[in-house]
């Protein structure tokens, strides 16, 4: 759980954004401000109010207490009471990221097969239904590793055997990528947590595994930025100099993508913050000898191992 104090107090959002992000109408927000002196927004030259990420979290906490049946005056009194004692309440999840709510009826492999059939039939509505169903039964890690992963492997095999078109493989991977991007956006971004940049090695276009890892690490509370496919190594070093991440994680499937990473940790060590390089992917799994020449940290053969290793390295 993360406290509201961890959210940035920097004023940057208009009342319209505050309203969109909290579901409370601007007129109500102004009334709360007048009557209860709840927030103290900065003002622009034209007198428009500017709110911070922390303000958004405070309003969300208040509205959650209203949903639980408190009156606005009691919710504000409770909030003030906590603050008087020096306590910041816990922030609520930003969008409700899916939580399993019912017992699994069938094993995950059944849903991997069903998803494969729906995607290879280009039946997006059916694929969506399957994803909604598994999200109601399984934890994200199980969905990624036991439903999406085997489904994608099966798609790769079918493509290799010439049984499905390239268009079908693209449709399937775009669909799963879309689901993952939505999930990534459903978790809050904590401004004080360690920062991790995640993406693909140069000329590497398989971005689904690093995207899965981004979702899982953001769920763990890290400040994750997903950078996508084909990242030139030198540009990454410049970017790391700009944003001082705690760690950069890259995935590589082929030797030509992995090779530019061999010396990347040495380049990162020359930066003031010395960001750690974490790496993994098909190439390293299949070529353990490459680990001897790589600087940085091999995060493991699979994504669950990677999460534990990131904890060990950063916490
Ligand atoms: C979708 C896909 C594509 C898409 C990717 C789209 C996208 N936005 O990501 C596109 C069309 C771009 C593509 C292109 C190619 N692909 Co492709 N692709 C696939 C497919 C079907 C799914 C990939 C995937 O997402 N898998 C699911 C993820 C979760 O699995 P994963 O990447 O293997 O990751 C696991 C581990 O490697 C590890 N891992 C991965 N990254 C990391 C990182 C860290 C830090 C850690 C700890 C672990 C880790 O954890 C994951 C879970 O266990 C696979 C089939 C397959 N078996 O995976 C083929 C596959 C990988 N592709 C293959 C090939 C040959 C190609 C192309 C060369 C085809 C071509 N002729 O152009 C190009 C190469 C492009 C490039 N330079 O990167 C082959 C690779 C064969 C090999 N010997 O390595 C496969 C296996 C298909 C096959 N059966 O032959 N592909």
Assign residue 79 the CATH number of its domain: 1.10.1660.10
- Residue finishing a domain among 137, 152, 185: 185
Q: Which of 150, 156, 264 to mutate to test ligand 1, by most ligand atoms within 8 A of the CB atom?
A: 156
Determine if ligand 1 sits within 6 Å of the CB of residue 143: no
Same domain membership, residue 203 and residue 143: no
Evaluate whether residue 261 is within a structural domain. yes
Point out the least confidently predicted range of 62-71, 206-215, 251-260.
62-71
Are 90 and 2 in contact by the 8 Å Cβ rule? The answer is yes
147 shares a domain with 210: no
| Residue 285 Cβ < 6 Å to ligand 1 | yes
Q: Mutate which of 206, 250, 251, 312 to test ligand 1's pocket (most atoms within 8 Å of Cβ)?
A: 206
Counting from 1 in the atom list of ligand 1, the atom nearest the Cα of 198 is 45
Question: Domain of 31?
Answer: 4-84
Q: 173 in ligand 1 pocket by Cβ < 6 Å?
A: yes
Position 68 pLDDT exceeds 60: yes
Q: Is the pLDDT of residue 185 over 90?
A: no
Q: Express each pLDDT in 73-84 by its tens digit.
A: 999 999 999 999
Question: Do 161 and 203 belong together in one domain?
Answer: no
Q: Which of 144, 165, 185 is the last residue of a domain?
A: 185
First-residue to last-residue Cα distance in the chain = 15
Q: Is the pLDDT of residue 24 over 90?
A: no
Residue 254 sits in a domain of what CATH number?
3.40.50.280
Residues 225 and 294 in one domain: yes
β-strand partners of 195: 223
pLDDT at 96 over 70: no
Inside any domain, residue 89: no
Distance of CA 141 to the CA centre of its chain: 13
The atom of ligand 1 lying closest to the CA of 249 is 45
Residue 230 shares a structural domain with residue 293: yes
Q: Are 245 and 275 in contact (CB under 8 A)?
A: yes
Question: Is 300 found in the same domain as 199?
Answer: yes
Report pLDDT digits (tens) over 280-291.
999 999 999 999
In this prediction, residues 21-42 reach a mean pLDDT of 86
236 CA distance to ligand 1 centroid (A)?
22
Q: Is 226 in the pocket of ligand 1 (CB under 6 A)?
A: no
User: Is the distance from the beta carbon of residue 280 to the nearest atom of ligand 1 less than 6 Å?
Assistant: yes
pLDDT of residue 99: 67
Q: Is residue 284 part of a domain?
A: yes
Would you say how long the chain is, in residues?
A: 315
Look at residue 143 and tell me if it is in a domain. Answer: yes
Closest atom, ligand 1, to C-alpha of 278 = 45
Query: Rounded to two decimals, what is the model's pTM?
Result: 0.79
Contact 299, 278 (CB under 8 A): yes
Question: What's the number of domains the chain is made of?
Answer: 3
The verdict on 19 and 130 lying in the same domain is no
- Domain assignment of residue 93, yes or no: no
**Domain annotation covers residue 98:** no
The dihedrals phi and psi of 310, each to the nearest 5 degrees, come to: -65, -45
Q: Does 94 have pLDDT greater than 80?
A: no
CA distance linking residue 118 with residue 148, whole number of Å: 13
């Amino acid at each position: 759980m993360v406290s509201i104090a961890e959210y940035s107090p920097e004023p940057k959002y208009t009342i319209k954004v505050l309203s969109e992000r909290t579901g409370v109408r601007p007129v109500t927000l102004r009334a709360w401000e007048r009557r209860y002196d709840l927030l103290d927004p900065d003002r622009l030259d034209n007198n428009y109010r500017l709110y911070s990420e922390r303000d958004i979290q405070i309003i969300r906490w208040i509205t959650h207490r209203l949903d639980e049946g408190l009156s606005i005056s009691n919710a504000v009194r409770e909030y003030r009471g906590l603050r008087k004692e020096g306590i910041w309440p816990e922030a609520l999840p930003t969008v409700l990221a899916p939580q399993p709510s019912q017992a699994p009826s069938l094993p995950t492999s059944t849903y991997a097969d069903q998803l494969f059939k729906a995607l290879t039939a280009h039946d997006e509505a059916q694929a969506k239904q399957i994803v909604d169903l598994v999200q109601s039964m399984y934890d994200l890690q199980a969905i990624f590793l036991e439903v999406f992963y085997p489904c994608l492997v099966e798609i790769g095999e079918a493509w290799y055997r010439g049984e499905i078109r390239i268009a079908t493989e693209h449709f399937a991977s775009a669909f799963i990528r879309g689901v993952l991007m939505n999930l990534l956006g459903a978790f809050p971004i904590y401004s004080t947590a360690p920062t991790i940049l995640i993406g693909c090695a140069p000329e590497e276009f398989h971005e689904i595994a690093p995207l899965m890892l981004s979702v899982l690490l953001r769920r763990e509370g890290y400040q994750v930025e997903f950078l996508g496919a084909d990242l030139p190594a030198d540009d990454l070093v410049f970017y790391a100099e700009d944003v001082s991440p705690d760690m950069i994680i890259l995935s590589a499937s082929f030797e030509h993508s992995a090779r530019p990473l061999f010396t990347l940790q040495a380049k990162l060590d020359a930066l003031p913050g010395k960001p750690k390089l974490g790496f993994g992917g098909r190439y390293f799994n299949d070529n353990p000898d490459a680990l001897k020449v790589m600087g940085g940290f091999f995060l493991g053969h699979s994504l669950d191992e990677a999460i534990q290793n990131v904890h060990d390295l950063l916490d």
